[in-house]
Amino acid sequence: MVLGLIVLLLCQLVGELVVRTLDVTLPGPVLGMVLYFVVLQVRRPPTDAPLVRGAQTLLRHLPLLYVPAGAGVISYLAVLGGNAVPIAGGLILSWVAGLLVTAGGAALVLRSTGQPKVLR
């Protein structure tokens, strides 16, 4: 499991280095996650391999990572309250955009695979 976490952190480090070196407008951890995905696809480790167990352990404890974000929201509650309308508008618009993109992507996949439509 420790080896899996080390590989995960190394992928994140490589992602950060690539982003900072090439001045890419992509977050380093996102590039690291893509790199980790490529490693998993190339190696195809079994489910009990350290690469998989390390990621599963991190995912099991994922709710703990929301605690600092929740504390930040509470500490900036006055600022958030003063900007409630733009924040709510942004949340609603981004939700609608995500819903439309997901629905469009699903429709394209269904159309390209020849699957029958579920909703008519």
| Residues 19, 74 within the same domain | no
119: pLDDT strictly greater than 70: no
| Residues 43, 9 within the same domain | yes
Distance CA 116, CA 110 (A): 7
| Residues 50, 89 within the same domain | no
Residue 65 within any structural domain of the chain: no
14 contacts: CB under 8 Å, gap ≥ 6: 31, 32, 35
* Model pLDDT for residues 19-66, shown as the tens digit of each residue: 999 998 889 989 998 998 898 889 888 878 888 888 888 888 888 888
| Residues 112, 80 within the same domain | yes
Residue 115 within any structural domain of the chain: yes
Residue 32 within any structural domain of the chain: yes
Q: Which residues constitute the domain of residue 19?
A: 1-60
Distance CA 5, CA 11 (A): 10
